Amino acid sequence: MSDTTKYFLTEDRMPKAWYNLAADLPGPVAPPVHPGTGQPMGPEDLAPLFPMGVLEQEVSQERWIDIPEPVREVYRLWRPSPLIRARRLEKALGTPAKIFFKYEGVSPAGSHKPNTAVAQAFYNQQEGITKLSTETGAGQWGSSLAFAGDIFGLEVEVYMVRISYNQKPYRRALMETYGATCIPSPSPNTAAGRAILEKDPDSNGSLGIAISEAVEIAASRDDTKYALGSVLNHVCLHQTVIGEEAMLQMEMADSEPDIVIGCCGGGSNFAGLAFPYMREKLKGKAIRFIGVEPTSCPTLTKGPMAYDFGDTGKLTPLMKMYTLGSGFMPPGTHAGGLRYHGMAPMVSSALEYGLMEARSYQQTECFTAAVQFARNEGIVPAPESSHAIKAVMDEALRCKAEGKAETILFNLSGHGHFDMQAYTDYFAGKMTDVPFDDAALQASLADLPKVAV
């Protein structure tokens, strides 16, 4: 049907395996390195923090990794997610481009994050773990892990970046609804939190600080492990269920993307949609990939590729990635999930190998795009996802100017129903664009660890 708007897969066509881009990248992804010894770290070294089930995936070179049936069973609560053609937006823009999006806002938490939360909770439960600690920025990840922990009978403790904790009380209520505990970070519960509070009692917090707190809790208890909502290879892997579904749905639409777009915080929703298509690019298909980030936290567009800590307290292994330095404190913007100093090593590799492009936008122009999207497509996007939408609109307008009927596919990573304060601020003219602080970046980069690998 030529005027179809939504493309649904039946549940029996939901992918049975995740796709691992590591098997097809032109070279290896650099391993994590011990900050003390400078030596590469293997799964055994990371075992105090993560279950073996995910650590095996972290280092796997296998192209396909089976999705366990208990995980698929939970996925079926909302997956396969719809692929939607943004016909009304195309018309409003007057573009000859076709715009498709994968809508991950249909999940219980309202974003792509449960795709990995469910898998991680499953592997922890399999190995007898009873409690998980984690951080959350916007609250999407915390509520996803709260949901997944509840399903698999695990206690969940979430350290939530303070600015988001204050902006989004209902995210905390959602976590509590699923039975989790939510603590504003920095907190007095941990040495990492106390150190920050001593220097700055009014600290807004950051994902880097919240990670330090959650890691410290997990490292200090045998029954507790840590779960990360982005960045790591296994997280990107779990998210590829999005792209694998999208490929089947784009076939139903008799279309192939010329451009694939996603917003980038730690890189996982972008990876989830893009990596399966990068496999096709590596086989010779001409597809452009665009990762979109905030101008206030421009990891891919302004950071160097370097070994760095994943957290502010310098507790994690060093990862080779694009980074703004683990001490970089992004200003408090509404896209809390994009306020992270580093980028997934796999996404960083993809950029380094020239497989993708990156660009950044200010938050107000993203909200302008988000409102236009909502008024045409009905869905109110999460502030993070609005970055992808802004890039989509710019590309669609370029197509219009050049008279090109390209096909654009993007990941609408979540809805913004818990982010209405941000929209209220936008409508009240209270949203500001903070100019990027280059001096702060240089100071933060001067502190990058020296690694001779």
Ligand X SMILES: Cc1ncc(COP(=O)(O)O)c(C=O)c1O
Nearest CB to ligand X, comparing residues 50 and 410: 410
Q: Which of 114, 243, 257, 265 binds ligand X (CB under 6 A)?
A: 265
Nearest CB to ligand X, comparing residues 95 and 144: 144
Q: Which of 95, 111, 133, 212 binds ligand X (CB under 6 A)?
A: 111
Q: How many residues bind ligand X (CB under 6 A)?
A: 21
Q: Which residues ranging from 140 to 159 are in contact with ligand X (CB under 6 A)?
A: 140-141
182 binds ligand X (CB under 6 A): no
Nearest distance, CB of residue 270 and ligand X, angstroms: 6
CA angle in degrees (0–180, nearest 5) for 293-295-299: 55
Nearest distance, CB of residue 9 and ligand X, angstroms: 22
Q: Which of 260, 264, 287, 445 binds ligand X (CB under 6 A)?
A: 264
120 binds ligand X (CB under 6 A): no
Nearest CB to ligand X, comparing residues 98 and 229: 229
Three-class secondary structure of residue 392 per DSSP = helix
Q: Which residues ranging from 414 to 453 are in contact with ligand X (CB under 6 A)?
A: 414
Nearest distance, CB of residue 367 and ligand X, angstroms: 14
138 binds ligand X (CB under 6 A): yes
| CA–CA distance, 329 with 97 (Å, rounded to integer) | 38
Nearest distance, CB of residue 136 and ligand X, angstroms: 7
413 binds ligand X (CB under 6 A): yes
93 binds ligand X (CB under 6 A): no
The residues pairing with 135 across neighbouring beta strands, listed in sequence order, are 159
Structural tokens at position 203? 């600290």
Nearest distance, CB of residue 141 and ligand X, angstroms: 5
Residues near ligand X, by CB under 6 A: 111, 137-138, 140-141, 230, 263-270, 337-338, 382, 384-385, 413-414
